Chain A
Amino acid sequence: MTYTPHKPPIAESPEELRRRIPGWGVDLDPRDRPSVPKLQFQEDFTGAHWEFPERQPEKYPRERSVEHGMLTPVFGTAQPLSGVSGAIRRHAYRYAEGRMAHWLLLVLGDRVDAWEHHLKSLLTLRPDNPITETGVKAEFTHHGLRSRVGQHRTDLKHQVLDPVIVGGPWIAAAGAAYVGARSMARSLARVGSDGRRPVH
């Protein structure tokens, strides 16, 4: 018991556990555990036949953390920086990783990037479609209701926020576009009626 020197007893003996659970205790000895101790020199370098690898050609100025002494010999080239979001992100990389500014600017870059692409997509044959891209169809094909009612799930409380997060900006953008279009139409109409006014 806790208030005495003894550990509270375990209900099952090792023999019982071994019988109930296949493999119980096979890694009891820490020497059988591949990650103990944490640092273990790997004589074979895991197949690498270099001490320092050849360097991947840098075909465009690759952004990097200022906490790195050099551009790493290998790097990803999946989505090079571009547009306004690219400028924001490039700026973010001027701050070290320990700084809030670094991460907050990257988060801002992410939001701007999304809007740049949403707008750009409207000019393509395949505009962004929040309905298909959120996969909400699965609500109907994969028991959306039955997966939720009568359960003890606590995530339902904030799942109601998800459509707001996804749909909110679209609705706001549509609203702004509507208001903008309406005032534009009105001022055009005003110019038009003014134009028709006879000049004395």
Chain B
Amino acid sequence: MRAMAYRGPYKVRVEEKQRPRIEHPNDAIVRVQLAAICGSDLHLYHGLMPDTRIGHTFGHEFIGVVDEVGSSVQDLRVGDRVMVPFNVFCGTCWYCARGLYSNCHNVNPNATAVGGIYGYSHTTGGYDGGQAEFVRVPFADVGPSRIPDWMADEDAVLLTDMTATGYFGAQLGDIVQGDVVLVFGAGPVGLVAARSAWLMGAGRVIVIDHLDHRLEKARTFAHAETYNFTEYGDIVLEMKKATDWLGADVAIDCVGAEADGDFVQHVTSAKLKLQGGSPVALNWAIDSVRKGATISVMGAYGPLFSAVKFGDAMNKGLTFHTNQCPVKRQWPRLFEHVRNGYLKPSELVTHRVPLEDIAEGYHVFSAKLDGCIKPLVVPTAA
């Protein structure tokens, strides 16, 4: 089969690989019809995630057709069209039983501090991902769902991570009616988080980034006020002014490890790999919110330490809510929102990249060329 393969930092190519096999009785093999590149993939692509092995196939957002099922699979049939959450999870460990699918303890031997994720290095379990023609899907009776008839494919694929994560991020903000919500990052996750904050009754939603085309989307897609942080000497001070000197009630970090805005922080983490991640946006969030506020962290950070301003966080009495998104738990409610038209994830798709051109796709998304917000990947035979 054809599959994307990692060849070292900033380098990927398409290779002929062996079609995955059933390795456990509850496995399924899915033939991918549509996949996507996530902001998280950029952390792998830039070589920031420890134990990312050469030849690894990325891709944790994908939909497709069930091609083969293991002997214990009861629910899925060959030919079913399924959407697969980015989490690999068992359904019954201590965590899964309590709905924390992203923290499953039965699928990732390599680390206990993170669950299982498709195509996301060996640190999350060593599963090849969906930027390929076929992918192994463990626990086929637990993870995948049949795509509802009414749902468009481009919406379905974006519900496997980006949309669920943005919606989850807004929930972790514990928003109450009239809250001022600050969203750092106008990437796909931030845009959905900003749109979702309104569903929870926010009184004001402010989005911060430095890419004008994405801030434009924040105004149209997410109905938000926007600030390009490069236009202000100090974005934190600007947020104090914008909130009557109180600070925001809630902040959502949708930037993560490769945050810009402070050259030293960025270069020491994203380029030199001396920190687990550049906490520029997180530190701005800590300083921009009011005392007693809640900060939701969706942005991903590596396992090494980062230079976070924890003293400010402590003195201000902040509450942090964090996690990888337990995707399937969001779906029933989120499907209603999509069906009602409150959220239309496919509006964020800017590029549709054939699998064979994946190297260019990664470059465009990574270097933020051509107004790119969300690139989809179309496998060769789909």
Residues of A within 8 A of B (CB): 1-2, 7-8, 10-12, 14, 17, 20-28, 30, 32-36, 38-42, 45-54, 56-57, 62-65, 67-68, 71-79, 85, 89, 92-93, 97, 100, 103, 106-107, 109-110, 113-114, 116-118, 128-130, 132-139, 141-144, 147, 151-155, 157-159, 161-162, 165-166
Contact = CB atoms under 8 A, between A and B. Distances in A.
Contact of B99 (A39, A63, A113, A135): A39
Interface of B: 7-13, 23-26, 47, 50-57, 72, 74-75, 88-92, 96-101, 105-113, 116, 122-123, 125-128, 138-139, 141-142, 168, 171-172, 174, 177-178, 180, 196, 198-201, 203-204, 210-212, 223, 228-231, 243-246, 260-261, 263, 266-267, 270-271, 273, 302-304, 326, 328-330, 332-334, 337, 340-343, 358-364, 367-372
B6 to A, nearest CB: 9
A99 to B, nearest CB: 10
B328 A139 contact: no
Contacts of A46: 89, 91, 96, 101, 142, 328
Contacts of A51: 92
| 8 interchain residue pairs of minimum CB distance | A48-B91, A76-B126, A23-B342, A135-B363, A135-B359, A114-B8, A8-B244, A76-B127
Contacts of A24: 198-199, 201
> Which one of A14, A48, A158, A159 has the greatest number of beta carbons of chain B within 10 Å?
A48
B24 A154 contact: no
Contacts of A118: 7-8
Contacts of B127: 76, 78
A135 B361 contact: yes
Given A21-B223, A46-B91, A100-B304, A137 B24 contact: no
A190 to B, nearest CB: 38
Given A17-B198, A76-B122, A53 B92 contact: yes
30 contacts: A10-B180, A14-B201, A21-B198, A27-B201, A28-B177, A28-B200, A34-B334, A45-B91, A46-B89, A46-B328, A49-B72, A49-B74, A49-B141, A56-B24, A65-B109, A67-B112, A75-B125, A76-B122, A78-B127, A79-B56, A97-B112, A103-B50, A106-B50, A110-B51, A139-B363, A147-B368, A151-B211, A154-B261, A155-B260, A166-B9
B329 to A, nearest CB: 5
A72 B106 contact: yes
Contacts of A56: 23-24
Given A14-B177, A110-B50, A128-B7, 20 more contacts: A7-B246, A11-B204, A17-B198, A33-B200, A34-B333, A39-B98, A40-B99, A57-B23, A74-B139, A76-B126, A97-B111, A97-B112, A107-B50, A128-B8, A130-B11, A135-B362, A142-B369, A142-B370, A142-B372, A144-B367
